[in-house]
Chain A
Amino acid sequence: MNTSLSVRSVARALEDVADGLSRVRIWHMLAWQEIRQRYRRSILGPFWLTISTGCLVAGMGPLYSKLLNQPLGVYFTYIAVGFVLWQLIAGLISDCCQSFINAEGFINQMKLPLTLHVARVVWKNALMFAHNSVIVFAVLVFSPPPFDAALLTSIAGLAVLLFNALWVGLLLGMLSARFRDIPQFINSLLQVGLFLTPILWKVEMLGDWRWFAIANPVYHFMEVIRSPLMGDGVTAQSWMAVGIITVVGWVVTLGVFAKFRARIPFWI
């Protein structure tokens, strides 16, 4: 087996990514198919997720605003946006582990770009997020953010998040296919992640423990999307962190993908 990183293998990896992303019709259909199967014959379908998130926010918002001594209005927006984003991010990370494992049937029988299976996972989560974001809109009606260019930052932040989800899906998908303990490990990490990430609490409350949030990559992605909606600016630090993660993540992933792409069918 030739495992050295040749120009040819990198080119084929890039080709796989481009080809996979370009087959919009297939990954869109497969993503819908998965959502439909999960909510088969349910009347509200994916809106059940919206309802459960809504209940969570409605229940925890007032309680935690009291516990943490925060003004209810602003805090409510903060955790509503935070929760919806967390569900997107946690859902992406958790599903990304299964991106290749769940596509076993396709990968072993058909010639399809592997990136297509990752695009499907990312798009499925984006569609779920679209349902869930009803909560964000509902909350923003009550405390509207300043409608200015900053709002575009949120949308750009979301796009960057999904772009990053693609490399996470390729990398975690590969690692999980080869080492089956990884999905279990990631899932236990995600459970505690909800509490370690500034969703219920704010970074200011950390005092001289601020580094704890700053060291958390998820925090920066949340910041670039959430802050503009709260009427705050995004810090240069968060943009820089997001930029570095995007570049380093893609470079490392493309290297690993180039090296092991052809092995993936044999791992699942």
Chain B
Amino acid sequence: MALAIARDVVVEFPVYGRRQQSLKRSVLRAATGGILATDARDHVVIRALDQVSFELAEGDRVALIGHNGSGKSTLLRVLAGAYEPVSGSIRVEGSVASMLSITLGLDMEATGYENIFMRAALMGLSQARTRDLVDDICDFAELGDYIQMPMRTYSSGMLMRLAFAISTSVSSDILLMDEWLSVGDASFSEKAARRLKSRVDDAKIMVLASHDMALVKRSCNRFITLEHGLITSDSTSYPT
């Protein structure tokens, strides 16, 4: 069972430490970004999501489309559970795999092997489950003996390969991605693409924020367009 239901979700970022007088009682609409406004107590706020409602069901491959700052990433973070809406409600059922920051929590002083356990714990995997997966992760990352070396000795490509291998080691009901993940050199990136494709296929719901029109047309079946934090269209074909 996997679903995600948002009802009138509003997310506002208060902006502290700015001189607020000039913005008081004024509403500015910029070319990109959320709407700047003031809340009840005259704090300047950025309304990143404005009354966003949708229902995602199994089989949905959702593309979030919109300018920089239109609210795509904020919406992904709401779905990931990092942000709670200021008003409205969000209900997510099913295990969520967030590919929003696959290197978060990695420790440069620890070995690659130790980091597998660290990341896996953050992903909510038990120690026993991680032990079952660890060989597969090591093989996939193709780091050889480097897996026993401190991660500060890794090149950025090696680091990304390991982070990718860990993050894609298990399937989940709901997969969240901010831009399609692509890592490594030619041969690895092909293998990574296959792995990611299979994780996406396993997932009951995928939500992908991307600017790559060709890619989302190819991999999504539902297109939600955001503008200034508002959903301006939600359809099964790419908006023209």
A residues with CB within 8 A of B: 1-2, 23, 25-26, 29-30, 33, 36-37, 40, 105-112, 178, 180, 262, 265-267
Chain B 57-89 residues near chain A, CB threshold 8 A: 77, 80-84, 86-87
- Given A25-B127, A40-B109, A265-B82, A108 and B14 contact (CB-CB distance below 8 Å): no
Is there an interface contact between B14 and A36, defined as CB atoms closer than 8 Å? no
B122 at the interface (CB under 8 A from A): yes
B13 at the interface (CB under 8 A from A): yes
Is there an interface contact between A109 and B82, defined as CB atoms closer than 8 Å? yes
A29 nearest CB neighbor, chain B only? B118
Measured between beta carbons, the chain B residues less than 8 angstroms from A30 are 105
Please indicate which of the listed interface residues A30, A111, A262 has the most CB atoms of chain B within 10 Å of its own CB: A111
- Looking at chain B, what size class is its interface with the partner chain? 20 to 34
Is there an interface contact between B80 and A110, defined as CB atoms closer than 8 Å? yes
Interface contacts beyond A109-B77, A267-B14: sample of 12 additional A-B pairs, CB < 8 Å, sorted by A: A26-B121, A26-B122, A29-B121, A30-B105, A105-B104, A109-B82, A111-B80, A262-B84, A265-B83, A265-B84, A266-B13, A266-B83
Measured between beta carbons, the chain A residues less than 8 angstroms from B104 are 105-106, 109-110
How many Å from the CB of B169 to the closest CB on chain A?
17
B100 at the interface (CB under 8 A from A): yes
How many Å from the CB of B103 to the closest CB on chain A?
10
Question: Which residue of the partner chain, among A26, A33, A108, contacts B82 with CB atoms under 8 Å?
Answer: A108
B117 nearest CB neighbor, chain A only? A29
Question: Which residue of the partner chain, among A23, A33, A106, contacts B107 with CB atoms under 8 Å?
Answer: A33
How many Å from the CB of A57 to the closest CB on chain B?
30
How many Å from the CB of A256 to the closest CB on chain B?
16
Measured between beta carbons, the chain A residues less than 8 angstroms from B110 are 33, 36
Q: Binding site of B, secondary structure by majority: helix, strand, loop or mixed?
A: loop
Measured between beta carbons, the chain B residues less than 8 angstroms from A180 are 17
B residues with CB within 8 A of A: 12-14, 16-17, 39, 77, 80-84, 86-87, 96, 98, 100-101, 104-105, 107-110, 117-118, 121-122, 127
A-B contacts, 22 of them at CB < 8 A, read A2-B87, A23-B121, A25-B121, A25-B127, A26-B122, A29-B121, A33-B109, A33-B110, A33-B118, A36-B109, A108-B77, A108-B82, A109-B98, A109-B101, A110-B80, A110-B81, A111-B81, A111-B96, A112-B122, A262-B84, A265-B84, A266-B14
B13 nearest CB neighbor, chain A only? A266
Measured between beta carbons, the chain B residues less than 8 angstroms from A23 are 121
B118 nearest CB neighbor, chain A only? A29
CA distance A187 to B98 in the complex (A): 37
A33 nearest CB neighbor, chain B only? B107
Is there an interface contact between A36 and B107, defined as CB atoms closer than 8 Å? yes
Measured between beta carbons, the chain A residues less than 8 angstroms from B83 are 108, 265-266
Is there an interface contact between B109 and A107, defined as CB atoms closer than 8 Å? no
- Given A26-B121, A105-B101, A111 and B109 contact (CB-CB distance below 8 Å): no
CA distance A23 to B14 in the complex (A): 30
CA distance A245 to B98 in the complex (A): 40
Measured between beta carbons, the chain B residues less than 8 angstroms from A25 are 121, 127
How many Å from the CB of B153 to the closest CB on chain A?
12
Is there an interface contact between A109 and B80, defined as CB atoms closer than 8 Å? yes
Is there an interface contact between A37 and B77, defined as CB atoms closer than 8 Å? no
CA distance A109 to B117 in the complex (A): 19
Measured between beta carbons, the chain A residues less than 8 angstroms from B80 are 109-111
How many Å from the CB of B225 to the closest CB on chain A?
24
CA distance A111 to B98 in the complex (A): 10
Measured between beta carbons, the chain A residues less than 8 angstroms from B84 are 262, 265
Question: Which residue of the partner chain, among B87, B100, B118, B121, contacts A109 with CB atoms under 8 Å?
Answer: B100
Measured between beta carbons, the chain B residues less than 8 angstroms from A109 are 77, 80, 82, 98, 100-101, 104
Is there an interface contact between A37 and B107, defined as CB atoms closer than 8 Å? yes
B105 nearest CB neighbor, chain A only? A106
How many Å from the CB of B51 to the closest CB on chain A?
15
Please indicate which of the listed interface residues B12, B17, B84, B100 has the most CB atoms of chain A within 10 Å of its own CB: B84
Question: Which residue of the partner chain, among B16, B82, B107, B108, contacts A110 with CB atoms under 8 Å?
Answer: B82
10 A-B pairs with least C-beta separation: A111-B81, A262-B84, A33-B107, A109-B101, A36-B109, A26-B121, A25-B121, A109-B100, A40-B109, A1-B86
Measured between beta carbons, the chain A residues less than 8 angstroms from B16 are 178, 267
How many Å from the CB of B114 to the closest CB on chain A?
9
